[in-house]
């Protein structure tokens, strides 16, 4: 004889099963198998663990409340209502798991031989690229590798899928870029998106660009494109400002696509189409770091993808964009968002340190005294090596060796510095007089 299955009994079992599976979602600190140098920063680790622990606590509380409801007034509820409540509960459970997987993708790779430690070094590079002392608090940042040729960022303080605020900036790097100076282009571009959010650059630039669209004449079309793509353009600007010509050569490595894609102008794409995007990068570099190399690079790009045989309407758009380039770049460089408290964008950046002649001089010195490179800001190191490679003074094989050594050193130094800080704080606590 079969017993009738009561809806509340089935849903109680399912809810209790959710609790048992939730218990299997352990803190990452209990699962990490990486060496210390490959670990994410303590700030990032703490932020992730705190966020996930809060998610687990809230979900457990919700499941227990549902079980109490089932055992009380819910016993008289209709099966439809009981199932509706359980379905919502299960969606919340899957949301917690999806957030766990986001951070798991980042942390699991830290156990990979060599790559795990290099990711620790890239965390240091990203943190350096985020620095703009005196204007905002730098959020924790972590990097991971993935397939494909494009990078991406899940910005800190933005909404996660299903709800919740992301506590750290998570940057996805193309595995195929490991390891050369081109990786700095992808990494710092994504950092640029986080910086733009912290300074509210896009929102402060958009009204200005909309004002430029009020002008009569064919240039209106160009200013509409600049306004539509401003988010990606600001990120490219930050990359050029931080790593110089390495940002442009790295960008060329990403957007060197079949000709049809290079000239594809899509009205729904926030990225400038590849051909004009490289020209933009060269123009921004020339505005920040005046040097003939930028015009030479622009001409080289034009030789790769000549425009002579394009149809007339596409040619006209390109000509309009090129004619407005100087005004557009000047607008960005001299922009004074409220977050910079009166300073322009170029004034807030230390552009003198990254002029091509200085980068070349640093490379010559570092060849004789390579240990000095270790005390320089990581983004400056990428700028120097990218400049040296363009100048023909550094071959790709040597560049890769230098960067691999630097990434390993930065990861190790970050770990040792944090260990020393923790030890000194512990000693200060022990030595403090008892009251």
Buried b or exposed e, range 262-282, using 16+ CB within 10 angstroms: bbeeeeeeebbbbbbbbbbbb
344-387: per-residue pLDDT in tens? 999 998 888 899 999 999 999 999 998 999 999 999 999 999 99
The pLDDT, as a whole number, for residue 173 is: 87
Q: For tokens 């990218």, what's the residue?
A: 386
The pLDDT, as a whole number, for residue 244 is: 95
Q: What is the pTM of this model?
A: 0.86
The pLDDT, as a whole number, for residue 177 is: 73
Tell me the sheet residues that pair with 146. Answer: 174
* pLDDT of 414 higher than 50: yes
96-119: per-residue pLDDT in tens? 888 888 888 888 888 877 888 888
152-194: per-residue pLDDT in tens? 999 999 998 888 899 999 999 888 777 777 789 999 999 999 9
The pLDDT, as a whole number, for residue 175 is: 81
* 430 pLDDT tier (thresholds 50, 70, 90): very low
* 428 pLDDT tier (thresholds 50, 70, 90): very low
Lowest mean pLDDT among 271-275, 279-283, 400-404: 400-404
Residue pair 332/205 in contact by the 8 Å Cβ criterion = yes
Please tell me whether the peptide bond between 188 and the residue prior to it is cis, using omega within 30 degrees of 0.
no
Lowest mean pLDDT among 13-22, 126-135, 280-289, 319-328: 13-22
**Cα-based torsion angle of the residue sequence 273, 274, 280, 283 in order, rounded to the nearest 10 degrees:** -150
Q: What end-to-end distance do the CA atoms of the chain give, in Å? A: 73
Q: What is the overall mean pLDDT for the chain?
A: 87
Lowest mean pLDDT among 66-75, 260-269, 287-296, 414-423: 414-423
54-105: per-residue pLDDT in tens? 999 999 999 899 999 988 888 888 889 888 988 898 898 888 888 888 888 8
At CB < 8 A and 24+ separation, what contacts does 131-136 make?
A: 131/377, 132/195, 132/199, 132/348, 132/349, 135/198, 135/199, 135/339, 135/340, 135/341, 135/348, 136/198, 136/199, 136/339
The pLDDT, as a whole number, for residue 331 is: 93
Please give the helix or strand (H or E) that residue 7 lies within, else none: helix 7-23
* 417 pLDDT tier (thresholds 50, 70, 90): low
* 418 pLDDT tier (thresholds 50, 70, 90): low
**Cα-based torsion angle of the residue sequence 186, 189, 190, 193 in order, rounded to the nearest 10 degrees:** -170
Q: What is the C-alpha to C-alpha distance for residues 183 and 188, in angstroms, rounded to an integer?
A: 8
Percent of the chain with pLDDT over 90: 49
- 294 C-beta neighbours (distance < 10 Å), count: 22
Question: By three-state DSSP, how is residue 215 classified?
Answer: coil
* pLDDT of 309 higher than 60: yes
The pLDDT, as a whole number, for residue 433 is: 46
201-248: per-residue pLDDT in tens? 999 999 999 888 877 677 888 899 999 999 999 999 999 999 999 999
Higher pLDDT: 150 or 270? It is 270
* pLDDT of 426 higher than 50: no
* pLDDT of 1 higher than 50: no
Residue pair 297/250 in contact by the 8 Å Cβ criterion = no
* pLDDT of 42 higher than 80: yes
Percent of the chain with pLDDT over 70: 93
């Amino acid at each position: 004889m079969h017993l009738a299955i009561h809806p509340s009994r089935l849903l109680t079992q399912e809810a209790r099963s959710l609790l048992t599976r939730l218990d299997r979602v352990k803190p990452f600190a209990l699962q990490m198998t990486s060496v210390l140098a490959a670990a994410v920063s303590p700030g990032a680790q703490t932020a992730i663990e705190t966020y996930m622990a809060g998610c687990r606590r809230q979900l457990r509380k919700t499941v227990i409340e549902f079980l109490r409801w089932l055992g009380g007034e819910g016993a008289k509820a209709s099966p439809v209502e009981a199932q509706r409540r359980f379905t919502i509960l299960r969606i919340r459970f899957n949301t917690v798991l999806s957030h766990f997987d986001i951070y798991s993708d980042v942390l699991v790779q830290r156990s990979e031989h060599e790559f795990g430690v290099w990711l620790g070094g890239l965390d240091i590079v990203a943190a350096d690229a985020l620095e703009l002392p005196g204007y905002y608090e730098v959020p924790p940042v972590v990097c991971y590798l993935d397939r494909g040729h494009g990078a991406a960022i899940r910005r800190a303080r933005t909404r996660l899928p299903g709800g919740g605020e992301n506590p750290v900036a998570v940057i996805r790097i193309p595995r195929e870029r490991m390891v050369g100076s081109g990786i700095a282009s992808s990494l710092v571009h994504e950092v640029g998106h986080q910086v733009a959010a912290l300074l509210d650059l896009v929102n402060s630039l958009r009204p200005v660009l909309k004002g430029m669209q009020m002008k009569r004449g064919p240039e209106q079309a160009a200013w509409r494109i600049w306004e539509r793509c401003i988010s990606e353009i600001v990120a490219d600007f930050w990359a050029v400002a931080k790593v110089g010509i390495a940002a442009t050569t790295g960008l060329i490595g990403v957007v060197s696509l079949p000709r049809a894609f290079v000239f594809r102008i899509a009205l729904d794409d926030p990225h400038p189409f590849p051909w004009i995007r490289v020209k933009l990068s060269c123009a921004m570099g020339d505005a920040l770091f005046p040097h003939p190399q930028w015009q030479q690079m622009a001409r080289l790009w034009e030789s790769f993808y000549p425009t002579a045989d394009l149809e007339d309407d596409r040619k006209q758009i390109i000509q309009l964009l090129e004619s407005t380039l100087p005004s557009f770049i000047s607008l960005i460089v001299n922009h004074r968002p409220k977050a910079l408290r009166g300073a322009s964008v170029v004034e807030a950046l230390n552009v003198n340190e990254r002029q091509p002649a200085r980068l070349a001089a640093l490379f010559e010195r570092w060849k004789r005294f390579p240990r000095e490179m270790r005390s320089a800001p990581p983004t400056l190191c990428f700028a120097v090596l990218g400049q040296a490679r363009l100048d023909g003074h550094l071959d790709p094989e040597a560049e890769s060796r230098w960067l691999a050594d630097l990434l390993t050193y930065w990861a190790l130094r970050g770990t040792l510095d944090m260990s020393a800080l923790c030890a000194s704080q512990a000693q200060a606590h022990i030595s403090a007089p008892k009251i």
